[in-house]
Amino acid sequence: MSYRYATERADHSALASGQVLRSAPGYPGFPVRLADELLQRAMVHVEGDRVRLWDPCCGSGYLVTVLGLLHRDLLTHVRASDVSSDAVGIAARNLELLTAEGLAERERELRRSARDFGRVAFVERAEAARDLAAGLAAMGGDLPHESAVADVFSLTDPVDADLVITDVPYGEMTHWDGEAPEDPVRGLLASMGRVLPRNSVVVVTARTRRVRLPEGVRALERVKVGNRSAVLLRARDLAAL
């Protein structure tokens, strides 16, 4: 695939997992440039210039936090949910980095670590947190957000989101939990069709050659980069699943 929007190889080292954003074993990151590209591709298909973003398989919250820091100007709200309470605990701490105070506290934490351990790397991370705070302020300031423990397969209540972007478990570092059906991707899509507004856009990524869709479901776009594939869908096309 040729990048259509994230055409420049920008330095996103400040957004690397474990630098300013918090990480933990078993919670992988996501390629920042690909996340940037997928959000901008999806924006072509949504209504309006700004959207409410949701990741229903959020893990550590890395993907939506990165998107919030990259594109605060395009987002009005970020929601992260996962069946694992441990994952949501990490995600909640990462989502706090979408606020000036959260980034300031992270900078202070990293500077304390630099003093305690005498490592220059922590000073560099602290300065990266400061730079991210300046960028967030320039794009609109604090981004409203929420996190919740929820099994993606058993959702019933409507979710006010215009755009879903999620990287599904792929069996190496991550796996499906909860009431996972035999075909988890179909179950995920069926759930999105139940709870999202009809015009919402759903972006599903996976480490596979091609994200397999249920018969009769039409993709808005397909994307393939390296060992990851993504598919863009309209929520109304999932309602019959």
pLDDT tens digit sequence for 131-145: 999 999 999 999 999
Residue whose structure tokens are 């560099």: 124
User: Three-class SS of residue 103?
Assistant: helix
- Mean pLDDT, the chain, rounded, equals 94
Residues of the chain with pLDDT under 70: 170-175, 178
d(Cα 113, Cα 110) in Å, to the nearest integer?
Answer: 5
> Can you give the pTM of this predicted structure?
0.94
Q: What pLDDT score does 173 carry?
A: 47
